[in-house]
Structure 1
């Protein structure tokens, strides 16, 4: 392959990875909207549209494999190809998490009131967007900045999960007090089942948002390795 064509393919690979990032973030934003509003049609669109992300992933995976097998890149070119493969893997997993998130909203939309779902979701999504931008621009400081934000996201998720469980316990205590200590077992069972369903969806959503942040850090780590041959964020 002529050198010009080889370099063009490397540039196209990078552009393709960024394009996949844009598509995944579009799906992710739609998933947050679907969960918050209870829009079943939008949730279905996110879930059914996941195949487009998968097809994009497979095409870029094939390109990475061909570049490695046929061109045997070295040094910076090799890091670009291997980092790109890792980045698209994390992006594909963010898209999978988006399909989960789209279905977490209740019938009327929203999650547990103790969870700032939109705020946490936008922070996690912003980390992914910034990590992809750092990969595109080759900005090592931006890579490190994304990783530095992960502790704050984890803390927000931890506090949200604790608030959900605390609210469940307090609501149960209030029901007992309101009944004067006498409990209607059948009514309690129905109320508890509804409360547990809401709590379960909220905790799963928080877990998945935290994982989105983890994938953002992975993308930043691979981008930093690609840029500076520095694996400090990988391990």
Structure 2
């Protein structure tokens, strides 16, 4: 059943409506914090701000606490309300999305830690162009994934599923470039390895944003598109599915 034909506001219990809305609200708040973590971690590297990088690492605990709170709220809704149909899908999607957001927070913390090492070692700016390009791409993906979740927008979600392959290609290209530089100058091995870990973390953030988009399709249409080749996804057919 399409979520649009099973609107949450039709529940007899106003309290149940409020609980479902609070789940979404708290997930969006967590998403906002995680998005800022990614932005701050990359900014710390590009601007040489080790204090900001350490702040990102410290804030990771707040992300973890938000996930724990959301999971507890979802458990209470499942136990007390025994939701069905789209309500059940919403709760399950929030649980899954919270897990991916927590992992994005972990990747942001990894970026920040490696950024601090590079800044403290005064290792120049080799690879920063690649980092800037990929970081802008994946940050936009995270933002759009959260927007698609908030609006139940499957069209935007499917766009992100197709976009993840572009990030993978950008990542592979950047890695080849850094490998070449590392082989040409043995002194660059340590800082280049740190940059590779940063690029790997950014690529993983793109994967998690892709997961969030897949949950939107599941939430709205009841379709599990995980492990489905993006080329096999028909946006028009999905939009018509009831």
Range class of TM-score, shorter chain: 0.7 to 0.9
Contact persistence 2:217–2:223 (CA under 8 A): yes
Which portions of structure 1, spanning 4 or more consecutive aligned residues, are displaced by more than 6 angstroms? none
Q: CA deviation at 1:234?
A: 5.2
Structure 2 residue corresponding to 1:38, chosen from 31, 36, 48 = 48
Tell me the residue number matched to 1:146: 160
**Is contact 2:127-2:195 (8 Å) kept?**
no
Which ranges of structure 2 fall in alignment gaps of 5 or more residues?
1-10, 229-242
> Contact conserved, 1:111 with 1:201, CA < 8 A, in 2?
no
Taking structure 1 as reference, are residues 138 and 109 closer, same or farther at Cα in structure 2, changes over 3 Å only?
farther
Give the TM-score of the pair, scaled to structure 2: 0.84
Identify if the C-alpha distance between structure 1 residues 81 and 111 changes in structure 2 by more than 3 Å, giving closer, same or farther.
Answer: farther
1:116 aligned to 2:130?
yes
Measured in 2, the distance between the counterparts of 1:111 and 1:72 equals 54
Q: 1: CA distance between counterparts of 2:126 and 2:56? A: 22
The equivalent of 1:168 in structure 2 is: 182
Query: How much is the aligned-residue C-alpha RMSD, in angstroms?
Result: 1.7
Change (3 A) 1:21 1:151: same
Matched residue, 1:62: 72
Alignment of 1:73-88 (within 5 A): 73-88=83-98
Equivalent-residue separation in structure 2 for 1:56 and 1:81 (angstroms): 16
Give the 3-state SS of the residue equivalent to 1:196 in structure 2.
helix
Q: Number of residue pairs matched? A: 214
Q: How do residues 159-198 of structure 1 correspond to structure 2 at under 5 angstroms?
A: 159-169=173-183, 171-172=184-185, 192=186, 194-198=187-191
Q: CA deviation at 1:112?
A: 2.8
Q: 1:63, 1:98 → 2: CA distance?
A: 25
User: For residues 217 and 123 of structure 2, what CA distance do their matches in structure 1 show?
Assistant: 39
Q: Please, which runs of 5 or more residues in structure 1 have no aligned partner?
A: 173-191
Q: Give CA deviations for 1:68-105 in whole Å, capped at 9, x if unaligned.
A: 11111000000000000000100000001001111223
Residue 58 of structure 2: aligned partner: 48
Distance 1:9 1:234, change over 3 A: farther
Q: Distance in 1 between matches of 2:85 and 2:166?
A: 35
Q: Does 1:22 align with 2:26?
A: no
Query: Alpha carbons of 1:48 and 1:34: their partners in 2 closer, same or farther (altered >3 Å)?
Result: same
8 Å CA contact retained: 1:101, 1:208: yes
Query: Shift of residue 233 of structure 1?
Result: 3.9
Q: Distance in 1 between matches of 2:95 and 2:125?
A: 34
CA contact (8 A) 1:35 1:103 kept: no
Secondary structure of the corresponding residue to residue 149 of structure 1? helix
Q: Which residue number corresponds to residue 238 of structure 2?
A: none
Return the offset for 1:114. 6.9
- Corresponding residue SS for 2:114: coil
1:136 aligns with 2:147: no
Q: Determine helix, strand or coil for the equivalent of 2:216.
A: helix
From 224, 227, 232, the equivalent of 2:220 is 227
Aligned: 1:125 with 2:139: yes
